[in-house]
Each structure stands twice: as structure tokens, then as C-alpha cells.
Structure 1
Amino acid sequence: MIKRPVTGTKTMVVSPHYLASAAGARILQKGGNAFDAAVAVSSALAVVYPHMTGLGGDAFWLTYSADEGRVQVYNGSGRSGYGVHRGRYAGEAAIPRRGVRSAVTVPGMADSWDAVLSRYGRLPLAEVLEAAIDYAAGGFPMSPDQHGNTILAGAALSPEAAAIYMPGGRIPRPGEKFVQKELARTLSILASGGRDAFYKGEIAKAICDGMAESGGYLIREDFADHQGSWCDPISTDYHGYTVFQAPPNSQGFAGLMALNILERFNFAGIPHGSYEYYHLLVEAIKASFRDRDAVLTDPEFNEIPLDRLLDKTYAAELAASISPSRAADLASEPTGRDTAYAAVVDAEGNAVSFIQSLYFEFGSGTAPGGTGVLLQNRGSFFSLDPAAVNTLEPHKRTFHTLMPAMACRDGKPAILYGTQGGEGQPQTQTLLLTRMLHYGMNPQQAVDEPRFVWGRTWGEPTQELTVEGRVEDEVLEELAAAGHKVRKVADYDGLAGHAHVISIDDNGYRSGGTDPRCDGAAIGW
């Protein structure tokens, strides 16, 4: 399953589906820039990876404009509806994970496409969406990943959604043509009418009318008032690189905290793949998760002390608290895992690192109004406990796992990286970056090496450390002896997520790595 890295002298596109990568490459060949190509990839993924992402979900974008010489963030996450509050779920322990009552946040995806293209793109939305519309209307080969996830989650689909993803009551086989006529029509309306067609026009009306008929809470005013936001990234310095993440409500600061902790250790004396390597990374992640879970929510509702959390002195304190021989006692809350990460670099030096999701596979499982738009269940992560920092309130963004990353050297992008997986995102990102910076791996090697995920993306809170089977048994035994609750899984297990990387070396050559666990491709020239 080992892949060779793809190297280009001018451009690179990576994504979890080869058709989406091809859509981005086509836009670059037609004269579009990285921003145009990134939206083409994003929209194509909304069609060819519909179980992971789509028009009914959210997206976060890290953008580097060569003209501006700076990294910016677009927060494309939606807020809860004005009429969505804890009283809607009186007597219930939690917001339902599936169904129309789990779809309580406005989808931010379409707005984010408009924002990125309006600020940085050079092609019209209609041209950028051509591949996505073609894949939806004409069909594409069902991916093994979609097939497998439909088997796992098909029972959670509403009748309207099931008619799309299991036509005639049957799951299409891998390689069989899969067509989404309703989604093609919706994308065509969006292409001609722009973002307002989605948030203020017939698409919003159809979705909200359909939700009302089945007991949903989002209304047209929620859609009409939605607006994502441009903002500055957060960052830390790590071994000569400036590493950028999206600020809260993204969990990106947890990844930066882990790097600040690891900076206190000498990796030259830690063999890659050893007990020491895995133990140290897991414990650094745990330390960052303690603070993340205590403070992360919409910063407009609660102050998040980023200055303290990202302070190097505080990181030194956390590093000193790590025992070299004993696992810390901490449990992980489930946060979902189904996501799509992609990245694009063009010949002009523009770069986009972005990630999008429906939260669970197939999101809420509902696709109302004949639109073909599968709505996310991201808002089901809100707490119904009024004392919880992430408690449900009207017009609020929830704790968000999406966190695209970009590491710059001398002020320019050097590594764009990210992965699928809720709890797994900061963990796999840390694996990728340490492998490349401390052990000299290229993007594909860093992605191919065995991975772990501490905690659980589903079910009850846990301290379980899931480790791929290619890790040496002696290392697994040492981890278990230190108190890690080790669970060995398959060599390239899907639980480890789908990671992708682009690196840019001192010659300007772009190298791309995509995950052997998915259907992705790196395309560059």
C-alpha cells in the first residue's frame, strides 16, 4: 500500500478523492489560481465524497496570498438557529446524534466558496463548479469508502436521503455509477444565482420548508443571516517554522499547544517509532486536550485565554508534568471523525489548506426539500448542561474539530497538512510534522508510517489508544506497561483517518502525499 510521492515544479493538488484532485488540476490548467482550484476541489468533494462532506456542512480555510504575503483564515462554520435552545430538548440527556433535530446549525460551505473566490479568485463561480455539477448529473464510480460507510450508516438515513444513497433500496457497488440529480440541480442554481441562491433564495426555502415538515428547527431567517468570517490565524514557532492554525471555535490551538510542549524535548535522542516517540506525542496531546475541553466554544460567548494557552512558559510547565514512564489519567470525549482535507499550491506561490465536514458520516442523515443537500449534525455536539462551556444557545457556533494547518518558513508556505478525524486531527498533524521536521521524511513517507489515535471518535469517553498493527509488538507492550490502554487494529485502518500533505522545498519544488487509506490522489506538474 506504500505510495510514491508526487513532485511538481510549479503546482500541486492533494485530496481524498482522485476526481476532486483532477477537478482542481483542471482549473489550474485553465488559468485559475490556487483559490479557484481549491473551491473546485471542495465542490467536487461535496459530490464524490458525499458521506464525508457536502453543501450541508462547514469548512475552514487557511489561505496564503503571494501578493499579500500573509496567511488568513476563513471560518466557514455555521451558527445554531435563532429558535434553537436547550428548551427544545427538555427532558433529554443530549441532542440527538441523527435525524432532523440534530441539524441545528446553518451550513457554512457555500458561503465559504463565495468568500474565497470573491477575495482571491479570478474565475467565476459557475466555471469553478463545472466539474462538481458534471459529477453529480452524469455520475461517477462509487468509491469503496462511500460504499463501506453506507453499509455502516445506511440505517441512519431518512427515507428521502436513503432514496439518494441507496437507490431502489440497494447500496451501489464500488465502481458502479452513482448519480445525484437533485444535488446537480441545486449546484446549478448556486452556480447561476451565487451564494444568495443558497441562503436567501429557492434553495434555502426548499431546505427550511422540508425541515419544518419533519420537525426541524432551522428557518429561512437563520439562513438569510448567515455570514462566515475572515480573521487572522493563530500561530507558534517550532524549529524554524511558523505553524498556523484557525482560531476558536476551531480546536487548532490544541495542535499548537502540543508542538510547544514537544519543543522542550530533544528528538535527536528519540528513535522514530519507538516507545519514547509514541508515548511523548500521546502525552503532549493529552495535556493540550485538558485545556481544549475546558474552554473551547464560540469565543463570542466565552473568553478563551489563548495568550496563556500558547505561552511557551506554560508549555514548559506542561512538558515538565509528563512522566517518561507513565500514561496520564485522562478520558476523551467522542467528537466525530468524518471529514475531508485537501490542499492546493499554484505556480504563483498561492497556497490553500482547507478542511470540510458533515460531522458524522452522512451527517444528520436528512436531505430535506428535494435539494439533495445532506445536512450536517455538527450542532449535536452542543451540551444541554447550562453550566458547560459549550452549552447550546441560539445563534452560536459550536466547538469545532476542523483545523487545517500550514507551516511557513521565511514567511512563505513550506508544509500544508491536515487529516480527517475529530480527536485524530491534532494527533495526526503532530505525527506528520514531527516526522518531516525531525526525521527527514517526505510527505508520502510521513503519511504512510503507522499512526495512532488516542481517545474515541464514537461512543462513551475513553482512554483507549488505538494503534495500527505495523507498530512493533515490543513497542505496544511497553506502551501497555506504562498504562496506555492499547488496542491494536489493522495495518492501514480507516480509524487513523485520511491525511494529506504538500511540501515546498528550497528549490520551490512541490511534493504531495496522499493517504493510502482513501481514494485520493496527488496531482502536480
Structure 2
Amino acid sequence: MKKPLLTLCLLSCLSAVTVAQDRLSGKSFATRSVVMGQRGMACTSHPLSTQAAIDVLRNGGNAIDAAIAANAMEGVVEPHVNGIGGDLFAIFWDAKTKKLYGLNASGRSPYSLPLAEFQKRGLKHIPSDGPLPVSVPGCVDGWFELHKRFGKTPMPKILSHAIRYAREGYPVHDEAAFYWPSMITRFGKYPNVRETYAPGGAAPKRGDIFRNPALANTLEKIATGGRDAFYKGDIARTIDAFMKKAGGYLSAKDLADHTSEWVEPVSTKYRGYDVWELPPNSQGIAVLQMLNLLEPYDFSKVAWGSPEHIHQFVEAKKLAFEDRAKYYADPAFAKIPVQELISKAYAAERRTLINPDRAASRVEAGNPALRDGDTIYLTVADEEGNMVSLIQSNYRGFGSGMVPDGLGFMLQDRGELYSLTEGQNNTYAPHKRPFQTIIPAFVTKDGQPFMSFGVMGGSFQPLGHVQILMNIIDFGMNPQEAGDAPRIDHQGSSEPTGEKMTDAGMITLEAGYPYETIRDLMKKGHKVGYGMGGYGGYQAIMYDAKNKVYHGATESRKDGQAAGF
């Protein structure tokens, strides 16, 4: 009798140990706990970038200083998704004025490249690499605009972390190591690519130490010479000369004439929360349109991940994205009815097109009444209560393949996003900003900051934003659970580049959704598949005003870190 009793005891102990190793609270899919801090918080997609931001905060810098330090570091350690050759958008909560400020730091197309040049070449779409998709990089000017208005730490100190790691090197993390070889394969035919990104003859592997001394030199010139060192000095002249050799059109004049623009964020109220995005040329208002379409549905009676949840979400996306394809563009070149598009009345009109039992296979853009007149996301908060939501990108991965001589960075290919069809809002024109996918977001409640967040990932970003908000507001998740929850994507809507929706498109789901859900979606006429990757990268800081505590969350699908103190 003793042996069976001993066995039973051992099994009981083993069972207790197994149970004890499960998460003690929260959703089963949560990867980690929320990170908390009182005096500061930084959430980025790379630990070294987060640590740069935290170091700036600990040494007296504010959220803007720390965000610039983190962004500069990101360009060093994650060149496969961002860098100073790309564009930037930001939303800043200023604790002193208790107001949100928006910055559009996106660049324009070359003066000397006309639409007729693409037509002469017989192109239907602008290519994704080479000299043709290159537009003015707005990132560096964005840093200095933010810093001039709100920063307080000297720029040489802010950029010192990125300069040091570019010069001395850093171990390449998993995600970068995964994408790096494909970049060499794709862009290796262009000048300076292999010398800059594969100096040993091959792409660096996981754990290899990568150095970029040319980028360190460029950042040093920017740190000491300011934004004019990039847009009017030796760097601009080097870019001009290189682009001429490469058969491109971006010139020193394009760089010298570049300016960022301070813009008013726009918002809609979703179940008592004010959700803020930036207006076009970014795609941020697609988030607001989707939320307006979804708000009347009572998700307290709909389970997360159910066929009803996914169907309503996807159908709302289809409607918003048709307007996105038709209207979103550079407002200096097109009349965009922003307030009408994000109005509750317009959403009510469009919502009648959603069939609760059937997937729409064809959707047209609406007609609101006109009135006259690849990517990184990071968020930082400081002890004074300032919070910044910042997103920056080269567009497709490393960018265009154009690496100017001796500068250590690649120019973006954002110009791929213009349409070449005449007469559209987003039709290519010289000195015009292209439609932009990158969008930072912010949420306030009762006039106070609630959350700074974003989800990078091209056209997925509005879908990512809405899913995060629904997960928190409708389904009661904390900010880390909201990011860890399996995601929903949908492809097949019309695009600002001219492609048209021709059928119901394809829903792709991350692992974690039951077969019954997929089966019921298919019964409604949806095509459904499982997707690998392409679900974006998320960071968030939520503010607990009662306890004055920041709650940080980071993307479990990437190599990021949330840290506070």
C-alpha cells in the first residue's frame, strides 16, 4: 500500500508544480506582464533603443529627447525597418499645456521628376527599388522640429548612444538577422549596399557584431551641425551627386526646400474614449472611420475571436479602405473631406452596407459632402507627464537600395505609394507628398492622457490600431494582453496606388483561432487562411492617472523591450 500512496503523492506534487508554472493571472496567450514605472517609461522594438531612451530620461532629458535617442538607435540596430533615409510622424502630449501636438515629417517627390517620365517608360506602378521611388527623407528634420519646440537635452548628447553603437558595433538580434540576407540578395546589385551592410562578404548572422562607421560619421555631422548639415551641407551634396550617378532625380534643392509640418490631430469618440490620429497624407483616419462603423455593435454580447467579431471588423475595414483609396493624399494637392469622413453621420450611412450574414465582394468608396476650404514604432513618457507617440520608416524594409557614397544609410522607397493614374487624389506630381502608411496614435479620456500606442506594418496599421483598442475597451484586456492576442488581417481592398477591390479578399488569422470560427466565416463567404508574419509591431504606454503610474507593453513578435523606472 505504501508504494501506490507514494506514487499518488509524487503525481500530486508534479501536478501542483505544473499548475504553478502557468501564468497566475491574465489571458492564456499573454507572453509577459505589463511593465510599470512612475518616473519614466520607454517601449521600443529593440532593447538597446529602449535603454538609450531610459538613459536620456535618467539624466534629465524629457520624453522628446528620449524618443529621438531611441529613434536614432533604431536606425543603427534595426536598419531593416527604418533609418534617417525615411520619414517620421509623431503625436506629443504636452503636460504643461495639456494639449496634443502632431508633426508630419514626411518628404516630397523630386521637383525634376514629372509624371510624364513614368508614362514614357510605360510604367503602370512606380517600382519598389532603384532611384524612381526615392522621395526626400523627412526623419532628421522631424527630430529637430520636435527638439526645437519641446526638447531640452543638447542634440550631441541625445545622438551619442546611436553614434557609439554604430561605431563600436552591436550584436545582431533575431529579427534583423532573419531579414538581412534577403536584403543583400535584393539590393546587392546596387552601389555601396554590400560594402555598407555586408562588409564581411555576407549578411551578419544572429549574434554577429555589426558596425557601421559611415553612419556614425553621418550622425556626428548631424549632432554638431544640426538639421542643415543633412539638408544643406555635405550630406545633401553627397546625396545629390549619388542620385545623379544612379539615374535618379532627388537633388540638393529638393533637400534644401524640405519642411516638416505641424498639424492638428483629429479624433473620434469610441465608447467614451477619444482616439487621436493624424490627418492625411497619412492613413490614420481609417482607424477613426472603422471605429465609427463598429461603435453601435454591442461587443459585450459578442465573444472575442468569434465569427461575429471578425466578420464585423473585416466588413468595417472594407468600407473604410475604399475611402482610403479614393481620398487620402497630400492635402496640398487634393481636397480631402476629413471631418465628413470621420463623422458619426457618415458612418451611420455607410454602416447600412454591412450585411451581418454575408461578406461583401465589392464595395465602392462613399461620397461625403465636400466643404470648401517595414517601420518602427516607439513611445516614451517622462516624469513631468509628457508622452510621445512616434513612428518612422523607410517603407519596404531597408528602403530603395540607394545607399549614397560614404553615408551609411539607405534612402526610402516611399514614392512607390503614388498612383500613376491621372486624375486621382494620390496621382504622382513633383514636390508632392505620397500617401503614407505610417501612423502614430494617442487616446485621451476626459481630457487626460490615457494611452500612447502604435502598430507598425504597412497597410495593416489601421487594422492593428482598431484591434488593440477593441481588445482593451471592448474585451477588457490589459495593454500587454491586447498586443499579444492573435491578430486578424484582411487583404484585397482597393489601394491608393490604383488597385481595385475585385472580390471579398482574404482574411488571414494568426494561430489561436478555433476551426469552428474559420468554418463559420467561410459560410459567410469569406476566404480564410493562416498567415505567417505581417501582423505588425506594437508598443504602448498606458497612464494610470489615479496612481500616477505608467504601464508599458511591447511586441512579443519582435525583439522589443518595455522598461520603466
TM-score by length of 2: 0.89
- Asked whether the equivalents of residues 435 and 441 of structure 1 are also in contact (C-alpha less than 8 Å), the reply is yes
1:118-267 aligned within 5 A: 118-157=148-187, 158-267=190-299
Aligned to 1:96: 127
The aligned residue for residue 383 of structure 1 is 419
Paired AA for residue 258 in structure 1 = M
CA–CA distance in structure 2, aligned partners of residues 357 and 461 of structure 1: 26
Deviations 1:340-387 (A, max 9, x none): 111011111101001010010111012112211210000111122212
Is 1:470 matched up with 2:520?
no
Moved more, 183-192 or 367-376: 367-376
Query: Aligned match of 2:301 in 259, 264, 269?
Result: 269
Partner-residue secondary structure (3-state), 1:327 = coil
Q: Offset of 1:461 from its aligned partner?
A: 6.8
Distance 1:364 1:162 in 2: 14
- Note the 1:280-295 alignment, pairs <5 A: 280-295=312-327
Instruction: Say which SS state the counterpart of residue 101 (structure 1) adopts.
Output: coil
RMSD: 1.7
* Alpha-carbon separation, structure 1, partners of 2:321 and 2:550: 33
One-letter amino acid of the structure 1 residue matched with residue 482 of structure 2: A
Deviates more, 1:46-55 or 1:458-467: 458-467
Q: Any conservation in 2 of the 1:208–1:369 contact (CA below 8 Å)? A: no
Partner of 1:69: 98
Paired residue for 1:511, among 542, 547, 551?
551
Please state if 1:427 is matched with 2:463.
yes
In structure 1, C-alpha distance between the alignment counterparts of 2:185 and 2:285, rounded to whole Å: 36
8 A contact 1:126–1:191 mirrored in 2: yes
Residue 357 of structure 1 aligns with an amino acid whose one-letter code is S
1:330 Cα deviation from its structure 2 partner = 4.5
**1:427 maps to amino acid:** L
Conserved 8 A contact 1:326-1:482: yes
Asked if the contact 1:211/1:369 (under 8 Å) is kept, the reply is no
Residue of structure 2 in register with 1:25 after alignment: 54
In structure 2, do the counterparts of structure 1 residues 123 and 330 end up closer, same or farther at CA, with 3 Å as the change threshold?
Answer: farther
- Residue 331 of structure 1 deviates from its aligned partner by 8.5
- 1:315-326 correspondence runs (5 A): 315-326=347-358
Number of residue-to-residue matches in the alignment = 516
> Residue 8 of structure 1 corresponds to which residue in structure 2?
37
Query: Does 2:77 correspond to 1:45?
Result: no
Deviation digits for residues 455-493 of structure 1 (CA, Å, limit 9, x no counterpart): 16999877121111211111111112212211113xxx4
Cα distance in structure 2, aligned partners of 1:474 and 1:159 = 52
2:523 corresponds to 1:481 = yes
TM score, norm. by length of structure 1 = 0.95
Q: Is residue 418–residue 500 contact of structure 1 (8 Å, CA) maintained in 2? A: yes
CA 461–303 in structure 1, closer or farther in 2 if over 3 Å, else same = closer
Q: Partner amino acid for 1:371?
A: L
Task: Tell me the CA shift for residue 88 of structure 1.
Answer: 2.1
- Equivalents in 1 of 2:287, 2:77: separation in Å? 29
Question: Given the alignment of the two structures, is residue 405 of structure 1 paired with residue 438 of structure 2, yes or no?
Answer: no
Match for 2:389: what amino acid?
A: S
1:499 alignment partner AA: Y
Aligned partner of 2:63 among 30, 34, 39: 34
Partner-residue secondary structure (3-state), 1:494: coil
Pairing of 1:441-456 with structure 2 (within 5 A)? 441-455=477-491
SS in 1 for 2:558: coil
CA contact (8 A) 1:419 1:499 kept: yes
Distance 1:54 1:392 in 2: 24
Distance 1:296 1:82 in 2: 22
Q: How far apart, in 2, do the equivalents of 1:270 and 1:357 lie?
A: 36
Residue identity opposite 1:486 in structure 2? V
Gaps of 5+ in 1: 333-337
Whether the 8 Å contact between 2:132 and 2:415 is mirrored in structure 1 is no
What amino acid maps onto 1:66 in structure 2? A
Q: In 2, Cα distance between the equivalents of 1:16 and 1:433?
A: 20
Deviations 1:3-24 (A, max 9, x none): 2211112321111111111110
Task: Give the whole-Å Cα distance in 2 for the aligned partners of 1:508 and 1:280.
Answer: 36
Secondary structure of the residue aligned to 1:516 is coil
Q: Specify the alignment match of 1:418 in structure 2.
A: 454
Q: Is the CA contact 1:423–1:453 (under 8 Å) kept in the aligned structure 2?
A: no
User: 1:519 is aligned with what amino acid?
Assistant: D
Aligned partner of residue 151 in structure 1, secondary structure: helix
Cα-to-partner distance string for 1:210-261 (whole Å, 9 max, x where unaligned):
1111111011000000000111111111111111101110111100011111
Unaligned runs of 5+ in 2: 1-29, 365-373
Greater Cα offset, 51-60 or 143-152: 143-152
Q: Distance in 1 between matches of 2:409 and 2:449?
A: 34
For residues 379 and 280 of structure 2, what CA distance do their matches in structure 1 show?
21
How far does residue 97 in structure 1 lie from its aligned partner after superposition? Answer: 1.1
Question: What is the aligned partner in structure 2 of residue 335 from structure 1?
Answer: none
CA distance in 2, matches of 1:48, 1:273: 35
User: d(CA) in 2 for partners of 1:93 and 1:468?
Assistant: 33
Aligned to 2:369: none
Aligned-residue sequence identity (percent) comes to 40
Give the Cα separation in 2 of the matches to 1:18 and 1:440: 28
* Equivalent AA in structure 2 for residue 429 of structure 1: H
1:468 and 1:54 map into 2 onto residues whose CA distance is 29
Q: CA deviation at 1:508?
A: 2.1
Check whether the contact 1:331–1:455 (CA below 8 A) recurs between aligned residues: no
> What displacement does 1:95 show?
1.6
Q: 1:461 to 1:449 in 2, by over 3 A?
A: farther
Q: Does 1:59 align with 2:101?
A: no
Give the one of 130, 136, 150 matched to 1:106. Answer: 136
1:167-207 per-residue CA deviation (whole Å, 9 max, x = no partner) reads: 23211111110111111100000001000000000111111
Aligned-partner Cα distance in 1 for 2:515–2:458: 27
Moved more, 81-90 or 195-204: 81-90
Residues 330 and 78 of structure 1, relative CA distance in 2, 3 Å threshold: farther
Q: 1:499 aligns to what?
A: 538
Match for 2:332: what amino acid?
A: E
Q: Is the 8 A contact 1:513 1:522 kept in 2?
A: yes
